[in-house]
Homo-oligomer: A and B are copies of this chain.
Amino acid sequence: MAVSQTAEYALRAVVWLAQKPGEPQTTQQLADGTQVSPSYLPKVLQPLGRAGILTSQRGINGGYTLARDPDGLTLLEIVNCVDPVQRITRCPLKLAGHSGMLCPLHRALDDAMAELERTFRETTVGALLRENTSVTPLCDMSPATVSLETAAASAKKLPPTSN
C-alpha cells in the first residue's frame, strides 16, 4: 500500500513548478528535474491542467506553469487529480441493513483513509517549500547533483540557457 507512481510524479512536478514561478517549464525540464520519464509525464500533468492547478502553453517558450498560489494548494488536491483518495461510503458487500452505516471493519478502513486525506489536506505546497531542512527545499539540487543534472541536460540537446 503506497502512494501511486502517478501521484508521486504529479506531486514532484507541482513542487518543481512552485519553485519556478513565472518560468514555464517544458516537459523535458520537468522530467530532468523530477526524474520522471519525459514520455509519461504529459499524461500525469494533463489532469492537473484540467483541474486548473497548472496551465500549459504550447510553442516556443511554452511549457507548464503553476496556476495556483502554493499556499492555497494542498497535496490532497494534487493527488485527487490523478489518484483520488477513495473514502468508503457504503459497505462494499451489498448487505441488507448496511444502508447508512458502515460495519466496524469498513468503519476502521475508512477512518484510515480519512487520516490519509487529512494529512494530505493539511499540507500545502507552499508549506513544503518554506521548510528549511538541512537537505534541500525540494527533492533535488544538492550542489553536486545540480552540476551533474545540468551537464547531462546540456549534453543532450539544450542550448546553454541561463536556467
Chain A residues with a Cβ under 8 A of chain B: 1-4, 7-8, 11-12, 15, 34-35, 75, 79, 83-86, 91-93, 95-98, 101-109, 111-113, 115-116, 118-120, 123, 128-129, 131, 133-142, 144-145, 148
Q: Is the CB of B120 within 8 A of A112?
A: yes
Checking B7, B75, B97, B131 against A144 with a beta-carbon cut-off of 8 angstroms, the contacting residue is: B97
A101 x B133 contact (CB < 8 A)? yes
Contact: B128 with A108, CB < 8 Å? Answer: yes
Given A116-B116, A119-B115, check contact A142 B96 (CB 8 Å): yes
The reply to whether B2 and A139 contact each other, CB–CB distance below 8 Å, is: no
Contacts of A120 in B (CB 8 A): 112
Partner of A136, one of B35, B103, B108: B103
